[in-house]
Copies of this chain bind each other. A is one copy, B any other.
């Protein structure tokens, strides 16, 4: 009868974990000490306590861990495997508390920011300074947004600024940085009004691509396909500099954005910028961070980035080409 009652009262608690960190510590002590009596001394318990703890662990796991028919105690295959796994688990567990205490004090031990290539020149140095005041150690990585997105969700990155807001991942917070319209970059004097003009242009000039590894490149490609344009595969680059420098050299055209041009920091006197024919294509730069872990920091960083872009990048873009400046909006 009692059994019945119990099974009715506790159906919702499978208690799936068959061990505790403490029991794993004891198990590891036995492995290292080479015996239960020695392990008991090491962890400050008596020998029977260790003996029962190990027996309990074996029962719960449903697997023998030691071969007792031989002395000194030998590990079974399952025991050897548990030794590997348990020591990894415990060393991870040990790393949790220290970081937590620092975060609680408002002190961030390490902040890692992933910055999309096209903002690297405009923001890498200022952000480094801004973050250095708030964390003991700062690491800023420039690269492709796709790589950063992966790093963020696997917790190898704390913050990222890029062109993907990871809308499908929960537990993230997002802050807008800027919105840009894609523009045609053409040799000065060229006029493109329609899709047909563009197709004609492609027969005279080589189209320069952003690589399909970058989300910018993928966006542009998709847009061109929507326009019904099949441009020949020619040059392609991973970084904004390659694209801009090639166009600036003449004989090429590309689709790019104001910040990509700024990032390249090359002379664009011979280049004019014009809207793409057909519908406008825009990209949105967003700061993404793990929700709440960093307190107000993501919001602060986003504000700082916007202010910095407004104060430094916009004038520089305006100076390079008014048409460019009209295609970017902060926020």
Show the binding face of A for B, using Cβ within 8 Å. 10, 12-13, 16-22, 25, 42-44, 61-64, 75-82, 84-86, 88-90, 92-94, 96-97, 99-101, 103-104, 106, 155, 290-295
A-B contact pairs, 14 of them (CB 8 A): A12-B44, A13-B43, A19-B93, A63-B104, A75-B292, A77-B103, A77-B104, A77-B292, A77-B294, A77-B295, A80-B290, A80-B292, A84-B290, A88-B155
Complex Cα spacing A94 to B13, Å? 15
| Cross-chain contact of A104 among B20, B78, B85, B103 (Cβ < 8 A) | B78
A21-B21, A63-B101, A77-B295 given; A89·B93 CB < 8 A = yes
A10-B44, A17-B22, A80-B290 given; A92·B90 CB < 8 A = no
A21-B21, A62-B104, A294-B77 given; A44·B82 CB < 8 A = no
Which residues of B are found within 8 Å of A61, using beta-carbon distances?
97, 100-101
Complex Cα spacing A92 to B84, Å? 13
Query: What is the CB-to-nearest-CB distance from A185 to chain B, in angstroms, rounded to a whole number?
Result: 39
A155 touches B292 (CB 8 A): no
A104 touches B76 (CB 8 A): yes
Query: What is the CB-to-nearest-CB distance from A19 to chain B, in angstroms, rounded to a whole number?
Result: 8
A293 touches B63 (CB 8 A): no
Which residues of B are found within 8 Å of A82, using beta-carbon distances?
96, 100
Which residues of B are found within 8 Å of A18, using beta-carbon distances?
97
B86 touches A89 (CB 8 A): no
Besides the contacts A81-B293, A84-B293, A92-B92, what 6 more A-B pairs have beta carbons closer than 8 Å? A12-B43, A17-B90, A20-B22, A61-B101, A81-B100, A89-B89
Query: What is the CB-to-nearest-CB distance from A289 to chain B, in angstroms, rounded to a whole number?
Result: 11
A85 touches B80 (CB 8 A): no
Which residues of B are found within 8 Å of A85, using beta-carbon distances?
96, 100
Which residues of B are found within 8 Å of A155, using beta-carbon distances?
84, 88
Which residues of B are found within 8 Å of A295, using beta-carbon distances?
77
Complex Cα spacing A294 to B174, Å? 47
Residue with the greatest number of chain B CB neighbours at <10 A, chosen from A18, A62, A85, A290: A85
